[in-house]
Copies of this chain bind each other. A is one copy, B any other.
């Protein structure tokens, strides 16, 4: 049935009682047919000792699926207490190489070695070691090594035989990869094609050679954009000699894209670590405090800037401090956001900097003109003195123009130095623009009013 997968509250509550009672038999019975991802959700809300108890009584292949689905914190806490031998037998032996490498990568170097020493399958050990060596942000680290590979000179009947042999290791087959005698990738064969073709046909006559592949060192974002652009469900990974080494499926890319989007959103919102709603008070505070302190220090600078000017005799200038600061921040964030998205979508080239700035210059002038005319009119209507109206209006124009240019330039520069450009949409840019905005405002004010 279609909604077997929905864990209901009653079910979870009953299970928690059974776990309390340590009723092994009933628990195992209840968990039959429940998806590993759902069991992982339950384990994430259990205390450490109870979580360990559950892992003890669930059989090994299912335990392995569950450990993959757990969030990082819970997984770390489970792995910490288990012996290397148990980790090897319970998890690693039952996982495809990419998931096995993900789990192992979270262990200390010593423990890694020990876990691997408990595996008898030498090929798997070398696969895992290979995967562990790839840069964490590269296609190599995302790929699975298990795939169905056939020789282009075989007849299709041989291909089906080979598939039956290889297929036992692999959960989902999307495509069959066709290689030459040197393991170089030469084409793809769809299962559909295989099913509808004569048995004696030689494979190379029915393969698709107009395929897309990625290299092990291509970065994740590139792979994600590629799979999205070309609507690929799975993409083969080759090394620099075009030798087939793995494949990346789109479900891994979907997780990656979701995580990246969340990370960018958090950075832009001034949250410095990946946190979730259920994290502890301390974790949440730790993630939020750094940017608040940046804001504090920025605020103190702002106080110094204002203090330099003779506010006493022009105290009305103070009325528009929030307006100037807010507009500087808003414009800066807008400008930066457009650049950050273009970088993420690969639609910006590094030699575009000047044309970007020029366009933003024009947008800044247009927005600045409109806003400064509006504010001149409104302040005039509200009866502020003419000098104040003029000062606010000219300052606003200048601040908008500066913030637009600075907001554009910052993410481009960060990106050039391989720093996440999303930082430029967060409190950093608003704080900095606040201060510059105030300097511009008070400089103009001082000049016009004195």
Interface size class of A (residues with CB under 8 A): 35 or more
Main secondary structure of the interface of A (DSSP, over half): helix
| Residues in B neighbouring A288, C-beta threshold 8 A | 331, 334, 363, 367
Copies, count: 2
Within 8 A of B (CB), among A247-266: 249-251, 253-255, 257-258, 261-262, 264-266
Cβ A172 vs Cβ B312 within 8 A: no
Cβ B232 vs Cβ A251 within 8 A: yes
Cβ A326 vs Cβ B295 within 8 A: yes
Compute how far the CA of A311 lies from the CA of B312 in the bound complex, rounded to whole angstroms: 9
| Residues in B neighbouring A327, C-beta threshold 8 A | 292, 295-296, 299
Cβ A227 vs Cβ B242 within 8 A: no
Compute how far the CA of A232 lies from the CA of B320 in the bound complex, rounded to whole angstroms: 54
Cβ B289 vs Cβ A370 within 8 A: yes
Question: Digit string of A294-309 for contact with B (CB within 8 Å is 1, else 0)?
Answer: 0110111011101100
With beta carbons under 8 angstroms apart, the residue of B173, B230, B300 that contacts A5 is B230
What's the nearest-Cβ distance from chain B to residue A118, in Å?
27
Cβ B257 vs Cβ A333 within 8 A: no
Q: Is A215 part of the contact surface with B, judged by Cβ < 8 Å? A: yes
Cβ B269 vs Cβ A425 within 8 A: yes
| Residues in B neighbouring A382, C-beta threshold 8 A | 300, 304
| Residues in B neighbouring A4, C-beta threshold 8 A | 210, 212
The interface stretch among A22-30, A123-131, A430-438 is A430-438
Compute how far the CA of A321 lies from the CA of B305 in the bound complex, rounded to whole angstroms: 12
Closest residue of B by beta carbon distance from A382: B300
Q: Is A167 part of the contact surface with B, judged by Cβ < 8 Å? A: yes
Question: Digit string of A46-69 for contact with B (CB within 8 Å is 1, else 0)?
Answer: 000000000000000000000000
The interface stretch among A76-84, A85-93, A341-349 is A341-349
Give 7 CB contacts A-B under 8 Å: A2-B213, A174-B174, A228-B255, A250-B254, A261-B264, A298-B322, A300-B323
Having A194-B195, A270-B334, one finds 8 other A-B pairs with CB under 8 Å, namely A2-B215, A5-B212, A277-B347, A277-B348, A285-B366, A299-B322, A300-B375, A303-B320
